[in-house]
């Protein structure tokens, strides 16, 4: 490897690690400053030790259950959000009629619906999926509506000028142009779903990262709470990075024609 390439990689690695090192230093500084009771701020190495301990027990199953719930909730939410968002964004009449309803329900926090969800769906897995579906669906719809609204009609006009049929316009013009917005909707829905996870697992969950955090809070086990929070953050980050990589690959053609 050439010296310049090696230097560039080292700089990139340093830039990636710098924010995390800054957080760790700040964490230790807050703990050592005396401004906060050290008993209320477990040290990073103590959290790491607790993570290693939990990893030998229930943590893997908690991660699996939470990831599975988020995946199913986001999949179903985006699956419905894409056609609904497309219809609202593309057809002005539909948008005028439905937009107030979408914004009304989008403003309702999922945690406020938990009592009703329990009444209608019980306390099993379905209830948790409903909460995550609700959060994912409305986040996905909003992204799709905004994205579809940004598609220039000139693409459709050019296709019609070249003699394309309505079916060809939809499959070869509209669908490719909506792919970036669909992927963005998935990314946003994933973020919202992970943010809603703890609320969904308030519904009598025995396993899952949200349940881990809730149980730990009952016994003031702050190190376990930190482990749950860090796990949620890193899993969500890994999913987001994977979606970014997929987006770059799937919409690379846009860069070539830009």
Calpha distance 78→85 (Å, rounded): 10
How many CB atoms within 10 Å of residue 200?
Answer: 28
DSSP 3-state of 177: helix
Q: Report pLDDT for 55.
A: 93
Cα Rg, the chain, nearest whole Å = 23
pLDDT tens sequence for the chain (258 residues): 567 677 777 777 778 888 899 999 998 898 888 788 888 889 999 999 999 999 998 899 999 999 999 999 999 999 999 989 888 887 877 888 888 888 888 888 888 888 888 889 888 888 888 999 999 999 999 888 888 877 777 887 888 888 877 777 777 777 788 888 888 899 999 989 988 888 888 776 788 898 899 888 888 899 999 999 999 999 999 998 888 888 888 776 555 444
Calpha distance 54→224 (Å, rounded): 9
Calpha distance 154→141 (Å, rounded): 24
Q: Report pLDDT for 258.
A: 47
How many CB atoms within 10 Å of residue 239?
Answer: 20
- Please give the structure tokens belonging to residue 31: 């703990």
User: Domain extents for the chain?
Assistant: 1-38, 42-257
CATH of domain 42-257: 1.10.3720.10
| Nearest in space to 145 (alpha carbons), one of 191, 79, 99 | 99
CB 51 within 8 A of CB 59: yes
Calpha distance 1→258 (Å, rounded): 32
For the four alpha carbons of 31, 37, 41 and 44, in that order, the dihedral sign comes to positive
Q: Report pLDDT for 75.
A: 93
CB 196 within 8 A of CB 131: yes
CB 65 within 8 A of CB 105: no
Q: Give Cα separations from 190 to 109, 186, 242 (angstroms).
A: 16, 6, 12
Calpha distance 222→257 (Å, rounded): 52
Calpha distance 8→14 (Å, rounded): 10
Q: Report pLDDT for 44.
A: 92
pTM, entire model: 0.83
Q: Report pLDDT for 253.
A: 59
User: What does the chain come to in residues?
Assistant: 258
CB 250 within 8 A of CB 183: yes
CB 81 within 8 A of CB 184: no
Q: Report pLDDT for 256.
A: 46
How many CB atoms within 10 Å of residue 227?
Answer: 27
């Amino acid at each position: 490897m050439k010296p310049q390439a090696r230097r560039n990689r080292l700089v990139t690695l340093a830039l990636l690690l710098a924010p995390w090192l800054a957080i760790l230093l700040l964490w230790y500084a807050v703990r050592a400053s005396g401004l906060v009771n050290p008993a209320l701020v477990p040290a990073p190495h103590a959290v790491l030790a607790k993570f290693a301990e939990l990893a030998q027990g229930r943590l893997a199953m908690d991660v699996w259950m939470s990831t599975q719930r988020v995946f199913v909730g986001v999949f179903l939410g985006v699956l419905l959000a894409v056609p609904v968002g497309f219809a609202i964004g593309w057809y002005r009449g539909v948008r005028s009629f439905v937009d107030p309803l979408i914004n009304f329900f989008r403003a309702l926090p999922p945690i406020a619906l938990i009592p009703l969800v329990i009444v209608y769906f019980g306390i099993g897995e379905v209830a948790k999926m409903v909460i995550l579906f609700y959060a994912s669906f409305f986040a996905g719809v909003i992204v799709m509506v905004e994205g579809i609204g940004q598609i220039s009609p000139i693409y459709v006009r050019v296709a019609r000028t070249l003699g394309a049929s309505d079916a060809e316009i939809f499959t070869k013009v509209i669908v490719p142009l909506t792919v970036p917005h669909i992927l963005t909707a998935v990314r946003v829905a994933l973020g919202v779903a992970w943010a809603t996870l703890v609320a969904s697992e308030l519904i009598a969950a025995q396993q899952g990262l949200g349940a881990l955090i809730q149980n730990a809070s009952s016994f003031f086990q702050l190190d376990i709470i930190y482990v749950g929070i860090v796990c949620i953050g890193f899993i969500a980050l890994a999913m987001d990075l994977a979606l970014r990589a997929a987006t770059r690959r799937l919409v690379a053609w846009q860069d070539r024609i830009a």
